[in-house]
Amino acid sequence: MIVVIWNLVGPAVHSAVLQVGWCAVAIVAAGKTMVMIFKLLRRDLGYTV
C-alpha cells in the first residue's frame, strides 16, 4: 500500500518526506548518543547491598 502511494506521488513529495524523515532520524540518533555519553560519564557508586 505504501509502495503504491509512494510511486503515485511526485518527486517534490518524495523530497519533502525524505527531508523530514532524515531530520527526525538525525535528532533521534543525536539524542540516543547523548544519553549513552551521560551514562558512561556519570559516577558509578558500585554494588551496594
**Which pLDDT score is estimated for 44?**
76
Query: What pLDDT score does 4 carry?
Result: 94
Which residue's C-alpha cell is 557508586?
A: 45
Instruction: Give the model's pLDDT for residue 37.
Output: 94
Residue listed under C-alpha cell 554494588 = 47
**Which element (helix H / strand E) includes 11?**
helix 11-41
Q: Which of 2, 26, 30 is nearest to 14 (CA)?
A: 2
Q: Note the pLDDT of residue 34.
A: 96
Can you give the pLDDT at residue 43? Answer: 79
User: What local confidence, expressed as pLDDT, does residue 32 receive?
Assistant: 98
Q: What is the mean pLDDT of each run of 10 residues along the chain (49 residues)?
A: 93 95 98 94 76
